[in-house]
Amino acid sequence: MTVRARNIIVLGATSAIAEATARIWAAAGANFVLVGRDPARLQAIAQDLSVRGAKSTSIVSIDCVRANARDELQKMVKTLGRLDLLLLAYGALGDKEILEQDQKAIERLVATNFTSSIAWSLAASRILEQQRSGTLIVLGSVAGDRGRQSNFVYGATKAGLACLVEGIAHKLAPTGARAVVVKPGLVDTPMTEAFQKKGFLWSRPEDVARIIARSAERGGPIVYAPSFWGWIMLIIRLAPTWIFNRLRI
């Protein structure tokens, strides 16, 4: 796969999928601003990317949920000179049982997965629209395709986020800039450490990373990772309610 060297901002750079994706872009000589809450971990990732070929790496240690997205993003773009790619990769899964009973837990999840993501996505889209180039990639989830008993609060935040990115993609289309929501299925990451990881449906972060990197070049506005999840979710979305309600998913 060929990827061009670019000026890239990664929000949630310490996530397993974001780190694996950044390694692909580093090999093409990209310039990075890596954003997250853990400065030591960010520094370690930055050093690794430099060894792998990154032209430059800067780290910004902030809480993306609490930060002023517009002001912080403008400072990051000033560091890079321009914005070619922004990958929004932070998020939280939450505990299903707690989320169904604790309003504070709901508010924290919505703030992380939806409210703050809207602010960063809109801030990035304004810059891309002015440039008339560049790509916004947001990490979504197949959980947002249809409400299911196993994770519907988390899924609701991802459904809203996907709708937002589709709208941004529609708005940017005449300008030459792009927006893409990548929807992974089951991925073996620290976020899913409590799950039993058996079967062909599970992917590695590196598998999803290759699809994200490809999405930066073409495709969208919705991309499933891996692609077979598109067919699985089509069946789930089209399943009649009387059948769907008998499924324990």
What is the C-alpha to C-alpha distance for residues 47 and 103, in angstroms, rounded to an integer?
40
| 224 annotated active-site | no
Task: Name the catalytic one among 25, 90, 120, 154.
Answer: 154
Distance of CA 104 to the CA centre of its chain: 24
Q: Amino acid identity, residue 71? A: D
CB neighbour list of residue 70: distance below 8 Å, 6 or more residues apart: 119, 123, 126
Which residues carry out catalysis? 154
